[in-house]
Amino acid sequence: MAKFTTRLDNFCFLPHNTSSSQSSIFFSRTSRKNLHLELIPSKRRLNFKVLCSIKDRENVKNEVEKVGASSGGLVNGVRVEELDEKGGLGRESASREADFNFVWPPWKNIPQRYKLIGTTSLAFVICNMDKVNLSVAIIPMSHQFGWNSSVAGLVQSSFFWGYALSQLPGGWLSKLFGGRKVIEIGVLAWSLATALVPVLAGFMPGLLLSRILVGIGEGVSPSAATDLIARSIPLEERSRAVSFVFGGLSVGSVTGLLVAPTLIQNFGWESVFYIFGLLGIWWYSGFHFLGEEQALDAVEVEHVAPLRSANQNKSWNDSLKELDGMKTSWNNTLEELRVSLKDVPWKAFFRSPAVWAMIYAHFCGSWGHYTCLSWLPTFFSEELNLNLREAAWVSILPPLASVFVTSIAAQVADNLIANGVETTTGITNTVGAVPGIVGVALTGFLLDSTHSWGVSLFAPSIFFYLTGTVVWLAFASSKPQNFSESD
């Protein structure tokens, strides 16, 4: 306990501990008499007592009455409660205690799994901000560098080259290293590549390579997020966790399309890549403040938790043995991966109508999504003569609707699962990225050839949306599929 004697002029105390701090709380002068102030610090809470004379107590009481109606009994942010009258300053003295709870950082007491899910969703917001920034910036870039629609389509599609190639490796890396580490490195990689775009814009091979690297960084993220959710979130909460995390993609599209035009008009198109890239680097740095504590695997809580206390007393030799065990585990994991790929019944898998329905539906949905996301700002700007800001803001309507629908669908899915209703889920991101490669570039080529937005952009999207819906309704199934080889 630290004891101080001071006067009731303007004074302050330092919260959280008595050794060092930045913030302080000030009391205005109410008397000229001396005070006896006791500070009792703890890790996150600071208790202190102020002993004063009866006159000072009445002054404080009067100030509480004046301020209490509007502040709930708080004086300068501190709640003052009367204690029993005890000695210490003579018979004219009394004691008061002010309790101040100080928790920093504000998310200190949030469960670890919610912190991970929240920061992962934020990573996905930044992910799509870096994906859509080129959709807006391509307009002034094309004017500056003299690109036609075919070249602009090639530049925009290069992102999806890396995105498609990194889907399966992202799953393998998440299995080996854990989704948390993979998404952390992925965010850093795509953010650095994003910041390099203005530097390499005048050199086409370098520009294409930078966008491919952005795609690779973002391509490993879905598998990493799925792995993180599987390790951290109980089964009954996973649909909402998936919705919250992947809903960040639509939020990122909306945010990017809202912010990018203002930045371009005020600071030039280069600013979009610099600022959005710095956001990802900031996220990477802030992610470490969550601490080294890892959320226990949802399926291993009962087995891992009892071992933590036992592992605290390991000797140096035990640590060396554990290191050797980690190397062995690494080799075993690689072998398991090789065997698992070999054991997959690929023939039976691709003979299933339900699998093909899922693949085709994902392909069709991605075609319309990626082509419209890439080309709508250009369409509104060139065909409807909207300025850059208006063109981008009208383009937010599809992703904005996606945010709304996704939030509802997740709640419905969790309720269906809780009631024992079978639901259909599936991840076919590699196939889903192909329309980004083919569709975005093909739209630019058709636009140069036909000079028709209806033929190049809207007709193919309508076709794939309609056929994808029909195929899904006809062949998709929520029943478990039998993939055992019969021959």
Residues 189 and 225 in one domain: yes
Q: Note whether residue 398 is domain-resident.
A: yes
Dihedral pair phi/psi, residue 74, rounded to 5°: -100, 130
Helix residue spans in 178-269 (DSSP H): 179-200, 204-219, 221-232, 238-267
- More confidently predicted of 486 and 152: 152
Which range of 99-113, 248-262, 265-279, 466-480 scores highest in mean pLDDT? It is 265-279
Residue 235: its pLDDT value, please? 81
Residues 97 and 239 in one domain: no
Q: Is the pLDDT of residue 145 over 90?
A: yes
Helix axes 112-145, 221-232, angle to 10 degrees: 170
Identify the domain boundary among 101, 132, 167. 101
Q: Note whether residue 349 is domain-resident.
A: yes
Q: Note whether residue 212 is domain-resident.
A: yes
Q: Note whether residue 338 is domain-resident.
A: no
Query: How many angstroms separate the CA atoms of 41 and 16, rounded?
Result: 7
* In the chain, % of residues over pLDDT 90: 35
Domain ranges, residue 73:
2-101
Query: How many angstroms separate the CA atoms of 289 and 294, rounded?
Result: 12
Q: Note whether residue 391 is domain-resident.
A: yes
Residue 219: its pLDDT value, please? 92
Which amino acid is residue 210, in one-letter code?
Answer: S
DSSP E strand boundaries for 361-480: none
Whole-prediction pTM: 0.67
Closest CA to 237 of 294, 304, 295, 298: 298
Contact 185, 176 (CB under 8 A): no
Tokens 């979009």 correspond to what residue?
Answer: 272
Average pLDDT, the chain: 75
Q: Note whether residue 318 is domain-resident.
A: no
Residues 74 and 147 in one domain: no
Residue 315: its pLDDT value, please? 53
Residues 76 and 120 in one domain: no
Query: How many angstroms separate the CA atoms of 211 and 200, rounded?
Result: 10
What CATH number did the domain enclosing 136 receive? 1.20.1250.20
Number of domains in the chain: 2
Identify the domain boundary among 40, 67, 101. 101
Residues 117 and 263 in one domain: yes
Strand, coil or helix: what is 470? helix
User: Which token pair is 343?
Assistant: 């054991």
Contact 125, 248 (CB under 8 A): yes
Query: How many angstroms separate the CA atoms of 60 and 75, rounded?
Result: 9
- Average pLDDT (40-54) is 48
User: Which token pair is 169?
Assistant: 């490796």
Residues 96 and 168 in one domain: no
Q: Is the pLDDT of residue 33 over 50?
A: no
Residues 55 and 191 in one domain: no
Q: Note whether residue 27 is domain-resident.
A: yes
Tokens 């062995």 correspond to what residue?
Answer: 328
Tokens 């000079």 correspond to what residue?
Answer: 451
Residues 117 and 137 in one domain: yes
DSSP E strand boundaries for 34-144: 34-41, 45-53, 74-75, 78-82, 93-101
Q: Is the pLDDT of residue 34 over 60?
A: no
Identify the domain boundary among 53, 78, 101. 101
Q: How far is CA 341 from the centre of its chain?
A: 31
Strand, coil or helix: what is 170? helix
Residue 306: its pLDDT value, please? 43
Query: How many angstroms separate the CA atoms of 233 and 211, rounded?
Result: 33
Query: How many angstroms separate the CA atoms of 85 and 368, rounded?
Result: 75
Residues 258 and 204 in one domain: yes
Which amino acid is residue 19, in one-letter code?
Answer: S
Residues 203 and 281 in one domain: yes
CA separation, residue 442 to residues 3, 19, 402, 438, 455 (Å): 76, 65, 25, 6, 11
Residues 210 and 348 in one domain: yes
Query: How many angstroms separate the CA atoms of 107 and 326, rounded?
Result: 33
Dihedral pair phi/psi, residue 88, rounded to 5°: 140, -35
Residue 347: its pLDDT value, please? 79
Q: What is the DSSP letter of 99?
A: E
- Average pLDDT (188-204) is 95
* In the chain, % of residues over pLDDT 70: 60
Residues 57 and 76 in one domain: yes
